[in-house]
């Protein structure tokens, strides 16, 4: 169906051709992905491992072909830490090779990578990653002058702040709506370096210190509990979709490039159904609540089947909601 112009684009993560098919069929408007850099930079990554990315240029080509056949755009992520001159030629070759596969846009999180992309002569849209730490419209205005046509805002904003940024900006504003959280400002977090030595020996959910419980004591040295005070688990925005729509954002981004294709598709379908309900003009009242409850019931069934806990138990009950005044809370369980 033709969707109204004010309905945000739904962006979903993929890490394989099979997963991309599932996500496209689930209703994504755009998919985003990283591609493993061949050769000596194969293990160069930022807060995720190579298995979270598309494994080859040939697989990227297949994904682009399937997506374009279904009128879905493909966005390449190039969120590399541009650290040394010795990396430049390898990264330039890699990016050019990816761009040759006809991707539709590129996400950049570092000004060094931006300079490489511009030296290639890229003609597709360039998007500013959340690693640019955009938290006000002055920052968005600066990025627009550098050539970015879309800015992905930081997570640590309220809906009112998002509205003000969108209202004053002349580029597309994209926000996260579901997936892995972060209790730090992405661009200023150095806990990510803690991951690498433990990558091969630790379950994925325990890779970062943000996901570990800490003993918390009061000023008298009395133990108050063992709590995930830096909780980087997962947040949700299903209930806040109408508010984000009114805020004027252009894109809804689901996080989860390291997840299975099934998990990526399940969440894509959930947000697609909510957005389609709003596109039909059902922005409030019983019709919207009925659709929301229906979607959450489906998620409950999936989560119980997969991990033994319902979606409501993990998210709704604990108020794991994006864009509340204080995101980090002392959650009861992860």
Please tell me the predicted confidence (pLDDT) of residue 328.
46
State which H helix or E strand residue 12 sits in.
strand 9-13
Please tell me the predicted confidence (pLDDT) of residue 284.
64
Q: Is the separation of the CB atoms in 291 and 297 below 8 Å?
A: no
Residue 161, domain CATH: 3.20.20.70
Per-residue pLDDT of 87-139, as tens digits, reads 888 889 999 999 999 999 999 998 989 999 999 988 899 999 998 989 999 99
Please tell me the predicted confidence (pLDDT) of residue 45.
58
Domain count of the fold of the chain: 1
In a domain, 326, yes or no: no
Q: What is the dihedral of CA 18, 21, 22, 26, to 10 degrees?
A: 170
In a domain, 47, yes or no: yes
Residue 48 φ/ψ region, left for φ over 0, alpha for ψ in the -120 to 50 degree band, beta for the rest: beta
Strand partners, 151: 128, 173
| pTM, 2 dp | 0.87
In a domain, 209, yes or no: no
Tell me the residue range of the domain where 174 lies.
9-184+228-316
Please tell me the predicted confidence (pLDDT) of residue 43.
63
Instruction: Report the distance separating Cα 245 and Cα 232, nearest Å.
Output: 25
Q: Is the separation of the CB atoms in 11 and 251 below 8 Å?
A: yes
Please tell me the predicted confidence (pLDDT) of residue 325.
63
In a domain, 61, yes or no: yes
Query: Any idea which residue has 């598709």 for tokens?
Result: 265
In a domain, 241, yes or no: yes
Task: Cite the DSSP H helix spans in 183-327.
Answer: 241-247, 261-279, 285-307, 311
Instruction: Quickly count: other Cβ atoms within 10 Å of residue 140's Cβ.
Output: 24
Query: Which residue stretches of the chain have pLDDT < 70?
Result: 1-5, 42-50, 82, 186-211, 228, 231-233, 282-284, 325-334
In a domain, 30, yes or no: yes
In a domain, 80, yes or no: yes
Please tell me the predicted confidence (pLDDT) of residue 203.
46
In a domain, 220, yes or no: no
């Amino acid at each position: 169906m033709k969707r109204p112009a004010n309905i945000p684009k739904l962006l979903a993560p993929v890490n394989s051709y099979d997963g991309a098919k599932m996500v496209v069929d689930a209703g994504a408007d755009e998919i985003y992905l990283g591609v493993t850099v061949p050769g000596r930079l194969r293990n160069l990554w930022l807060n995720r491992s190579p298995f979270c990315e598309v494994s080859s240029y040939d697989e990227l080509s297949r994904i682009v072909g399937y997506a374009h056949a279904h009128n879905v755009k493909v966005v390449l992520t190039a969120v590399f830490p541009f650290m040394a001159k010795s990396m430049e030629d390898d990264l330039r070759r890699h990016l050019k090779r990816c761009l040759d596969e006809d991707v539709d846009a590129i996400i950049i999180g570092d000004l060094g990578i931006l300079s490489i992309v511009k030296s290639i002569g890229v003609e597709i849209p360039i998007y500013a990653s959340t690693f640019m730490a955009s938290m006000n419209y002055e920052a968005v205005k600066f990025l627009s002058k550098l050539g970015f046509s879309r800015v992905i805002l930081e997570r640590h904003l309220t809906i009112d702040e998002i509205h003000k940024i969108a209202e004053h900006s002349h580029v597309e504003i994209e926000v996260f709506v579901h997936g892995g959280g972060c209790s730090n400002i992405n661009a200023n977090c150095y806990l990510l370096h803690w991951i690498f030595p433990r990558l091969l020996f630790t379950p994925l959910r325990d890779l970062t210190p943000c996901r570990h419980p800490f003993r918390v004591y009061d000023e008298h040295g009395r133990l108050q509990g063992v709590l995930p005070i830096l909780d980087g688990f997962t947040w949700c925005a299903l209930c806040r979709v109408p508010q984000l729509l009114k805020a004027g954002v252009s894109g809804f981004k689901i996080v989860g490039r390291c997840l299975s294709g099934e998990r990526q598709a399940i969440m894509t379908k959930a947000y697609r159904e909510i957005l389609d309900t709003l596109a039909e003009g059902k922005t409030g009242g019983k019709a919207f609540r009925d659709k929301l409850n229906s979607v959450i019931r489906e998620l409950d069934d999936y989560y119980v089947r997969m991990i033994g806990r319902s979606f409501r138990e993990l998210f709704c009950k604990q108020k794991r909601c994006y864009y509340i005044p204080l995101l980090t809370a002392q959650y009861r369980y992860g």
